[in-house]
Copies of this chain bind each other. A is one copy, B any other.
């Protein structure tokens, strides 16, 4: 029998607040979180893994609307695997571009820092 978690535990593990976890469930990012007899949520290991993946999508700037699309495909079962892969590959490209752009911007920032250093030297 696999471990179960309360909303607070999931909150601590993932860093999302309980509010955000309920919100994600409400908008359909988390499907079918189980409940105990009194209606309290009990998260399974699989929920945790899914939430962790959602966090990665969010950190790579996937909009919630797209995360929702992806979640919807997921809950439709294995018939949608190809479609999910396509969606992820499109996102992969965007992330790759983000990294390239950040690197370019980082260079410019570093140049500016170097420029400031030079100006500081002059004034000694």
Number of interface residues, chain A, beta carbon within 8 A: 33
Q: Are A88 and B112 closer than 8 Å at their CB atoms?
A: yes
Contact of A88 among B60, B95, B101, B109 (CB under 8 A): B109
> CA of A60 to CA of B116 in the docked complex: distance in angstroms?
20
The oligomer's copy count stands at 2
The list of the 6 closest CB pairs from A to B, nearest first, reads A85-B116, A56-B105, A95-B106, A60-B105, A99-B102, A88-B113
Q: A81-96 CB contact bits vs B (8 Å, 1 = yes)? A: 1101100110110011
Q: A54-76 CB contact bits vs B (8 Å, 1 = yes)? A: 00110110000000000000000
Q: Are A102 and B98 closer than 8 Å at their CB atoms?
A: yes
